[in-house]
Amino acid sequence: MTIASVSRTSTSTSKYGLPPALRTAQAAMQLPEVQDMLRKLSAFELGIFMPHQHDEATGEFRPLSADVTQVESGLTVSFERLNEIANRTASFLPVGWLWRAGGPTVAAACEMADAEGPEDESEQPVKHKMPEDD
C-alpha cells in the first residue's frame, strides 16, 4: 500500500520544522503496521489523523495538548479546553479520538446546531453549526 502523493516523507517534513512527535507521526504513515491499522479502521469508516494545534504567534505546528480539543464550529476551527467541551456534550459531536490514560479521549469535535425533532435522541437530526449571517 502506498500513501497518496500529498503525503510528505519523513525527510521532507524535517525542513518544515515539525516538532519530533509530529515528525514521528508523519513518518509512521509509511510503516506497514500503521497502514494495516488504517486498512482495518477503514472497514468502520474511520481513519487516522495527526492531532495537532498551532502556536498562536507563529502558526507553527505543535502536538495537541492533553487538555485541549480541536473544535469546528461554523466552519471555523478553534482549540478549546477539553473540560469545557465535556460539560456541553449535547452540543458537540466527537469526530476524533486519542488513546490517553488507558482509554479514548476526544481530540476533535464539531459543534452541532440546535435541531428540533423527535424527543428520542437516536432520531434527532444532526446538523453542523454553520456561520451566522451578519
**How many CA atoms within 13 Å lie on the side-chain side of 118?**
6
Residues 2 and 35 reside in one and the same domain: yes
Residues 8 and 45 reside in one and the same domain: yes
Higher pLDDT, 127 or 84: 84
Q: What is the pTM of this model?
A: 0.74
Mean pLDDT value across residues 2-24: 64
Query: Phi first, then psi: what are they for 101, rounded to 5°?
Result: 50, 40
Q: What was the pLDDT predicted at 69?
A: 93
Rounded CA gap, 38 and 49, in Å?
A: 10
Residues 75 and 134 reside in one and the same domain: yes
Residues 37 and 85 reside in one and the same domain: no
47 lies in which domain range?
1-52
Residues 123 and 74 reside in one and the same domain: yes
Could you tell me if residue 58 is inside a domain? no
Residues 20 and 43 reside in one and the same domain: yes
What are the pLDDT digits (tens) for 92-123? 899 999 999 999 999 999 998 865 544 555 55
Query: Phi first, then psi: what are they for 58, rounded to 5°?
Result: -110, -20
Instruction: Report the number of distinct structural domains present in the chain.
Output: 2
Mean pLDDT value across residues 51-74: 92
Residues 125 and 82 reside in one and the same domain: yes
Residues 37 and 68 reside in one and the same domain: no
Residues 133 and 86 reside in one and the same domain: yes
State percent of the chain over pLDDT 90. Answer: 54
Residues 39 and 80 reside in one and the same domain: no
